[in-house]
Structure 1
Amino acid sequence: MTRRLLLSYLTLAALVLLCLEIPLGFVYSRGERERVINAATDEAESVSAFASLSISAGRAAQDLPERAAHCAERIGGKVLIVDGSGTLLASSHPLTEREEGDLPSWPGIAAALRGTATADVRTSTIGGVQYLAVATPVRHGVEEQGAVRITVPTRMVSERVHHVWLLLALGGLAALTAVAALGFVIARWTGRPIRELEHATHELAMGGTAVPVAITNGPPEVRSLAATFNRTAARLEHLLASQRAFAGEASHQLKTPLAALRLRLENLENDIALNARGSLTAALTETDRLARMVEGLLAMARLDESAVEREPVDLGRVCAERHRAWKPLFEQHGVWLALAGDYAGEVLALPGAVEQILDNLLSNALRVAPPGSTVSVDPRHHTPHERRFPHRHPHRHPHRPAGPGRVELHVMDEGPGMTEEQRRRAFDRFWRAPDAPKGGTGLGLALVQRLAHASGGEVVLRPAPRGGLDAVVRLPAVPARPGGTGSTGGSGGSGSAGGAASTGIPAPRPARRLQSTTPGRR
C-alpha cells in the first residue's frame, strides 16, 4: 500500500510540474527571442536615422564607417550600410569584392532598398535563436537613400535558454524528491493501521488469539474498518470458544451416562424373553454407535483446542506399522490389505495425525470392501518424471498432482464407491451415504480432513481405478538432508497418548496419537 500511495503522489506531482514547467520554458524562450529581435530592430533604426543625416549632410564617407564600427563593437555583431543603388558605404568587417557586388541581391538588403524592413530569424530545437539578421531602409522623407543590415550573434541567447531549461529540470527533480520524502512519510502514516489490520488478520487466520487493533490512528474509513474488525474478531472468537466448550463438555458429560446405559442393557440380557433379545441387541448396537459419535465429537474438540507444532513424520514407517496392525483384521473379513508405493522419506504433520488418518481411512475401506477384494495403501512422492510419462504409471489417477514438495497418501478400495455429489458432502459432519453400511457415525472423514488441514495438507476423494474410492491425503514433504532422508526422531507416534480408534471395526494395536479417531464416512 505504501508503494502505491507513493507512486500516486509522485505521478500527480510530476503531472503538475510538467503542466507548469513546460509552458514556462516555452514562454521564457519566446520572450528571449522577441527581446533580441526588438533590440536588434531598435539598433538598426538608430543606425538608419544616423545614416540618413550623414548622407543628407554629405558626410557619409567620414561618419558612417566610424558609426558602423562603434555599433558593431557595442552589440558584438556586424553592421553593413549601403546607398540607394546597393553600393557599400560602410562595414564593420571587411568584405571581398564578390560580396560587395552581391550586396544588392541579399534578401534583407533588397527588401530594405524597396522600403520594407525585415527581420530574418532562425530558431533552434528548444526555442533559442541560431542567428538574427535585421535590415532597415534609410529614408529622408519619402526619398529612399539606402539600407542598413545588422547581424546579431545569438549564441549567448541560446545558451541562456538552455540554461533556463536545465534549471527548470533540476527544480522539478528537487520538487519530486521533496514530494517523495513527504509522500513516503504520509503513506507510512496512512498505511500503518492497514498493516496492523493485516497482521491481526493473519494471526487470527493462523489460529492465534484475536488481538484488538487500535482505532485511534489513520483516516476515518480505516478507523471504522478497525472497529468492525475488532467486533468481528471478538464475536468469532466467542463463537468458536462456545462451540469448542459445548462439544467438549457435552462429550465428557455423555460418556458416563452412555457407559451406565450399556451396562444396564447388558444386565437385562438374562432377564428378558428370547423373542425380545433382538430388540436388546439393536439397543446395544445403537448405544455403541452413540458412544462412537461422542468419541468423535470429543476428538474434534481436542483438535480445535490443540496448538501442537508440526514435526517430521516417517511416512513409510507409519504405513508399514499400520499395515501390520490392520492386516489380520482384514484377513478375518476376507479382504487383502496391500502396501504399495516407493516413497521413503518424511512429511510434516501433527504428532499422531498420520496414524489417525490411516486408521480412519482403513476402517472405512474395510467397512465397504467386498470379500475377495483388495484395499491398497500407496504413499507416493510426486515428481516431474511422472507428469511427463503418465503411461509408465497406469494406476496413477490423472487428477491434479500433489505438486513439488508434497506427498500423496492413497487408500484405495474396490467397494461401491461414491457419486460426485456424495464425494462433495462426504466431509460434512454426521453425513452418511444413503447406502452406507450400518455402524458409522459420519465423523471419520470430517476428522481426517481436520487433521490433514492442521498438518498443512489436504484430503480429496476420487473414483479408484478399479472401482470403489481413492482417498488421497496430501502432506508437505520434508526436504531430504545430505547423507540420508532425515532423522526418524520425529516419526509418527510421538504425540500425546490417546484412545483406540472408535470404529465399528475394532482398531488393531492403535498407535499413540493426539486424539482418538472416529471412522464411518458413509
Structure 2
Amino acid sequence: MTRRLLVSYLGLALLVLASLEIPLGYLYARGETSRFSRTVERDATMLAEVTEEDIEEGKIAELPTAIGDYTARNGGQAIVVDRNGIVLAASGSTVRTGTDLSAEADIAAALRNQPTTGTRTDTGGDEVLYSTQPGSSGTTIRGALRLTYPTTMVTDRVHRLWLALALAAACILAAIALVAFTLARWITRPLRTLQRATTQLADGRMTNPPDATTGPPELRELAASFTHTAARLQQLLDAQQAFAGEASHQLKTPLTALRLRLENFEPYLDPRAHASLDETIGEVERLGRMVHGLLALARLENSATTPEPTDLDAVLAERAAMWESLAAEQYVTVAVTGTTAGRVWAIPGALEQIIDNLVANALRVSPPGTTLTLTRAPGVELHVIDQGPGMSEAERERAFDRFWRASDSHHDGTGLGLPIVRHLVHASGGEITLNAAVGGGLEACVRLKPVPPASGSSGRRRTANGSSRPARAAATTR
C-alpha cells in the first residue's frame, strides 16, 4: 500500500507540474521566437536606412564597414544590393560582391518596396531567420538589405529553458517523493502492524497487538477494534479448547467404569440379550475411542510445535514392520515400494501418527487376500493405497470433516482419524489428498517438504508417545 500511495502522490504531482510547465514552456518558446523576429526586423530596418543613405550619397565603399560593424557585434549575416539586385556588400556571408540576387523572392519583394520576414533554408542546409527590408526614400528604391540569423540562436535558449524546467520538476518530484514516502509510511504503519498481528492470530496466538497510537484516526480505531476482536476470539478459542480437552479427559474414567459394569452384567443376563450387550459394549468402546481422538485433537491444537528434520524411510520401515503382524491376522499383506525419500520436515512424532492412522483406516476396509501398499514417490510424497471399496468424489471431499463417516459404513470408526492426520500434515507444512486408486480402493497421498542435504543434521526422529508399538488407540477411522 505504501508503494501505491507513493505512486498516487507522484502521479498527481507530475500531472500538476506538466499542466503548469508545458504551457509555460510553449509560451516562452513562442515569446522568444516572436521577440527575436521583431529584433531582427527592427535591426534590418535601421541598417537598410543607413545603407540607403550611403548608396544615395555614393559612399559604396563604406557599406562593408557599416554592416560589418553590426554583424561583428551581434552576429548574423548582412547583404546589401542595389536597385537592380546586384550585391554591393556582404558581411558574414559567402555571397560575393557583384552577384545578382534579383531572382530571389525576398530581394525582389524588397525592391518593390515590400519588406519580408520569415524563415528559410540557406545554402548550407541550415534553417535561418531573415528579414529583407527595402532601402528607400519615399517611393524611390535605391537598394535592399537582407539580415539573417541562424534559428539556433533562439532554439538554444528555448532548449535551455526546457532543461531548466525539467530539472526543476525533477527536484520538486524528489522533494514530493520524500514527503509522500514519509506520509505513506505514517499512514500505513498501523496497517503493517495489523498485518503482523493478523498473521500471528492465524498461527494460533497474537503476541504483538497492532499499534493503535499512530496513523490516521480511522486506522487507529480499526487497530483498536481488531485488538478487541482478536482478544475476544482468543478467549473463545481457549475456552473451546479447554472444554474439549477437559471434557475428553473427564469422560475417560466414567466410560471405562461403564464398560466394566456392562461386562459384569453378562453372567446375569438372558442369553438372548448377549448380542445386545455386545453391541452396547462396542458402542461404549467406540465412544471411548472418540473421546481419545478428541483429547488428541485438543492437545494437537493447543501445542505450537516446530517441524524438525525426520527420516521418512526409517519411520516408514519401522511402522510397516510393526503393522505387518496385525495385517497378517486379517490376511492382508503390507508392501513398501518406491525409491528412498530421505529426510522431510515434520513435527515431532507426526510421521508415526500419520502412518498409523492411514494404515489403520486402510486395514479396516481391506478384504482378506489383498495388499496394502506404502509407496514413496519423488516430491516428497507418501502414498497409502488399499484395495477396499474406496470412496466417491463427494465422500472424499467430506472425509476430513470431524465425526463424518460414510453412510454405508459398518465399521466402528469415530470419524476423527483423518482430521487428526490432516492437522498433523498441515502442522508439518505439507498437504494431504484422497484419490481413487487404480483398480479400485482408496489412495491417500501425503506431500511433505524435503530437507536440504546440509540442513537439520541434529534432527531426531521420535514417536508421539515414546513407544515403538502401533498407536492402535489413536488409529481412529475415517
TM-score, normalised with respect to structure 1: 0.82
* SS of the residue 2:476 aligns to: coil
Partner of 1:381: 377
CA contact (8 A) 2:341 2:380 kept: no
Q: In the TM superposition, what is the alpha-carbon distance from 1:311 to its structure 2 partner?
A: 1.4
CA contact (8 A) 1:310 1:350 kept: yes
Q: In the TM superposition, what is the alpha-carbon distance from 1:210 to its structure 2 partner?
A: 5.3
Picking from 321, 332, 342, the partner of 1:335 is 332
Q: In the TM superposition, what is the alpha-carbon distance from 1:101 to its structure 2 partner?
A: 3.8
Deviation sequence 1:277-320 (CA, Å, 0-9, x none) = 22222221111111111101100000011112211222222222
> For the residues of structure 1 that align with 2:184 and 2:212, how far apart are their CA atoms?
18
Partner of 1:491: 461
Q: In the TM superposition, what is the alpha-carbon distance from 1:273 to its structure 2 partner?
A: 2.4
> For the residues of structure 1 that align with 2:347 and 2:255, how far apart are their CA atoms?
30
Partner of 1:263: 260
Partner of 1:397: none
Q: In the TM superposition, what is the alpha-carbon distance from 1:113 to its structure 2 partner?
A: 0.7
Q: In the TM superposition, what is the alpha-carbon distance from 1:63 to its structure 2 partner?
A: 6.8
Report the AA paired with residue 35 of structure 1. Answer: R
1:106 equivalent to 2:104? Answer yes
* SS of the residue 2:461 aligns to: coil
CA-atom RMSD, angstroms?
A: 2.9
> For the residues of structure 2 that align with 1:358 and 1:69, how far apart are their CA atoms?
105
CA contact (8 A) 2:128 2:149 kept: yes
Report the AA paired with residue 176 of structure 1. Answer: L
Q: In the TM superposition, what is the alpha-carbon distance from 1:88 to its structure 2 partner?
A: 5.1
The number of aligned residues is: 475
Partner of 2:396: 423
> For the residues of structure 2 that align with 1:466 and 1:344, how far apart are their CA atoms?
25
Q: In the TM superposition, what is the alpha-carbon distance from 1:10 to its structure 2 partner?
A: 2.9
> For the residues of structure 2 that align with 1:123 and 1:35, how far apart are their CA atoms?
20
Deviation sequence 1:68-103 (CA, Å, 0-9, x none) = 444444433444444433355555579876x52413
CA contact (8 A) 2:323 2:470 kept: no
Partner of 1:319: 316
Change over 3 Å in CA distance of 1:92–1:377 after alignment to 2: closer
Percent same amino acid among aligned pairs? Answer: 49
Q: In the TM superposition, what is the alpha-carbon distance from 1:250 to its structure 2 partner?
A: 1.0
Q: In the TM superposition, what is the alpha-carbon distance from 1:416 to its structure 2 partner?
A: 0.9
Summarize the alignment of residues 86-235 of structure 1 with structure 2, pairs less than 5 Å apart. 86-87=85-86, 92=91, 99-122=97-120, 130-152=127-149, 155-209=152-206, 211-235=208-232
* SS of the residue 1:510 aligns to: coil
1:519 equivalent to 2:476? Answer yes
CA contact (8 A) 1:330 1:366 kept: yes
Partner of 1:75: 74
CA contact (8 A) 2:198 2:206 kept: no
CA contact (8 A) 1:447 1:518 kept: no
Q: In the TM superposition, what is the alpha-carbon distance from 1:145 to its structure 2 partner?
A: 3.5
* SS of the residue 1:328 aligns to: helix
Q: In the TM superposition, what is the alpha-carbon distance from 1:55 to its structure 2 partner?
A: 6.0
Q: In the TM superposition, what is the alpha-carbon distance from 1:244 to its structure 2 partner?
A: 0.5
> For the residues of structure 2 that align with 1:475 and 1:94, how far apart are their CA atoms?
87
Report the AA paired with residue 294 of structure 1. Answer: V
- List structure 1 runs of 4+ shifted beyond 6 angstroms: 93-97
> For the residues of structure 1 that align with 2:111 and 2:33, how far apart are their CA atoms?
26
Change over 3 Å in CA distance of 1:82–1:360 after alignment to 2: closer
> For the residues of structure 1 that align with 2:48 and 2:237, how far apart are their CA atoms?
101
Q: In the TM superposition, what is the alpha-carbon distance from 1:337 to its structure 2 partner?
A: 2.0
Deviation sequence 1:99-137 (CA, Å, 0-9, x none) = 52413233322111112101132499xxxx942221112
Deviation sequence 1:429-482 (CA, Å, 0-9, x none) = 111112213311111111111111111112211112231111122221222349
Summarize the alignment of residues 8-87 of structure 1 with structure 2, pairs less than 5 Å apart. 8-51=8-51, 58=57, 60-61=59-60, 67-87=66-86
> For the residues of structure 2 that align with 1:520 and 1:117, how far apart are their CA atoms?
108
CA contact (8 A) 2:308 2:459 kept: no
Partner of 1:348: 345
Q: In the TM superposition, what is the alpha-carbon distance from 1:228 to its structure 2 partner?
A: 4.2
CA contact (8 A) 1:130 1:158 kept: no
Give 5+ residue unaligned stretches, structure 2: none
1:441 equivalent to 2:414? Answer yes
CA contact (8 A) 2:353 2:421 kept: yes
Partner of 2:3: 3
CA contact (8 A) 1:25 1:164 kept: yes
1:310 equivalent to 2:317? Answer no
Report the AA paired with residue 24 of structure 1. Answer: L
Picking from 288, 293, 308, the partner of 1:291 is 288
Q: In the TM superposition, what is the alpha-carbon distance from 1:413 to its structure 2 partner?
A: 1.2
> For the residues of structure 2 that align with 1:444 and 1:265, how far apart are their CA atoms?
27
> For the residues of structure 1 that align with 2:111 and 2:13, how far apart are their CA atoms?
55
CA contact (8 A) 1:210 1:237 kept: no
Change over 3 Å in CA distance of 1:24–1:418 after alignment to 2: same
Q: In the TM superposition, what is the alpha-carbon distance from 1:203 to its structure 2 partner?
A: 1.5
Change over 3 Å in CA distance of 1:87–1:281 after alignment to 2: closer
> For the residues of structure 2 that align with 1:47 and 1:333, how far apart are their CA atoms?
123
* SS of the residue 1:216 aligns to: coil
> For the residues of structure 1 that align with 2:474 and 2:418, how far apart are their CA atoms?
10
Q: In the TM superposition, what is the alpha-carbon distance from 1:64 to its structure 2 partner?
A: 5.5
1:275 equivalent to 2:275? Answer no
Deviation sequence 1:343-365 (CA, Å, 0-9, x none) = 24122111111111122112211
Change over 3 Å in CA distance of 1:89–1:520 after alignment to 2: closer
* SS of the residue 1:23 aligns to: helix
CA contact (8 A) 1:354 1:492 kept: no
Partner of 1:503: none
Change over 3 Å in CA distance of 1:110–1:277 after alignment to 2: same
463-472 vs 24-33, which moves further:
24-33
> For the residues of structure 1 that align with 2:194 and 2:305, how far apart are their CA atoms?
26
CA contact (8 A) 1:121 1:131 kept: yes
Q: In the TM superposition, what is the alpha-carbon distance from 1:322 to its structure 2 partner?
A: 1.6
> For the residues of structure 1 that align with 2:151 and 2:115, how far apart are their CA atoms?
20
72-81 vs 310-319, which moves further:
72-81
Report the AA paired with residue 509 of structure 1. Answer: R
Partner of 2:469: 509
> For the residues of structure 2 that align with 1:282 and 1:150, how far apart are their CA atoms?
122
Change over 3 Å in CA distance of 1:132–1:260 after alignment to 2: same
